[in-house]
Amino acid sequence: MMGYGMMGGFGLIGLVINIVIVVGIIVLVVWAIKRFSASSTSSNQNSSSQSPRETLQVRYARGEITRDQYQQMLSDLG
């Protein structure tokens, strides 16, 4: 009887399948990291493209500043 080594008859095929699975997982993780970092970067770019008045309105709407602070900063903007 002829032996196929320690891995059996499907050793090479099993090794290739395992490598494909590992590479697929790595590609999936890299894709997910790029996608989520790109979405946070684009939201930062959108906020930087707002005018100072719009940024102030957003901060007031979120409750980050009080009405008095909003009015003072609005008058400071001119």
Tens of pLDDT, residue by residue over 12-34, are 888 999 999 999 999 999 999 99
47: left (phi over 0), alpha (psi -120 to 50) or beta: alpha
**What is the distance between the alpha carbons of residues 53 and 39, in angstroms, rounded to a whole number?**
24
**What is the distance between the alpha carbons of residues 12 and 22, in angstroms, rounded to a whole number?**
15
- Each residue's pLDDT, cut to its tens digit, for the chain (78 residues) gives 455 555 556 688 889 999 999 999 999 999 999 988 876 655 555 556 888 999 999 999 999 999 999 999 999 988
- Amino acid identity for residue 77 in this structure: L
| pLDDT at site 12 | 87
| pLDDT at site 7 | 55
Q: How many CA atoms lie within 13 A of 27 on its CB side?
A: 6
**What is the distance between the alpha carbons of residues 15 and 42, in angstroms, rounded to a whole number?**
41
| pLDDT at site 38 | 72
